[in-house]
């Protein structure tokens, strides 16, 4: 999704509609030949993020919580490259196992 939005943003800038919308930016600072990168994240961090999401949904959207808690695994967006490992060392653990 990020890549599509980024590309959409470049189209807006290239075709001039950004100017018509009164966006203010310096076109010289935009690299129109950018290459998307992947962010490496551990499977432990991904699992923790899912647990965190479920805890929020449990009170905020019980119906969605019931749907998502049934999942055996999740597929991250293409922006992420998953590797084996624990929760990130910088994470403040609110929901221990």
Domain-by-domain residue ranges, the chain? 1-35, 37-97
Residue 3: pLDDT band by 50, 70, 90 thresholds? Answer: very low
Our CA dihedral for 69, 73, 78, 82, rounded to 10 degrees, sits at 120
Its sign, for the CA torsion 46, 50, 55, 60, is positive
| pTM, to two decimals | 0.63
Residue 24: pLDDT band by 50, 70, 90 thresholds? Answer: confident
How many helices (H) and strands (E) in the chain?
4, 2
Provide the mean pLDDT of the chain.
82
pLDDT reported for residue 34: 81
Say whether pLDDT at 19 is over 80.
no
Percent pLDDT > 90 in the chain is: 49
CA-atom Rg of the chain in angstroms: 19
């Amino acid at each position: 999704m990020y890549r599509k939005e980024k590309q959409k943003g470049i189209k807006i800038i290239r075709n001039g509609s950004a100017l018509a919308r009164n966006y203010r930016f310096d076109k010289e600072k935009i690299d129109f030949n950018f290459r998307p990168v992947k962010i490496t994240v551990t499977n432990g961090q991904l699992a923790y993020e899912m647990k965190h999401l479920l805890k929020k949904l449990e009170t905020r959207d019980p119906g969605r919580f019931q749907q998502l808690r049934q999942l055996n695994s999740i597929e991250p967006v293409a922006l992420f490259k998953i590797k084996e490992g624990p929760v990130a060392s910088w994470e403040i653990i609110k929901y221990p196992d």
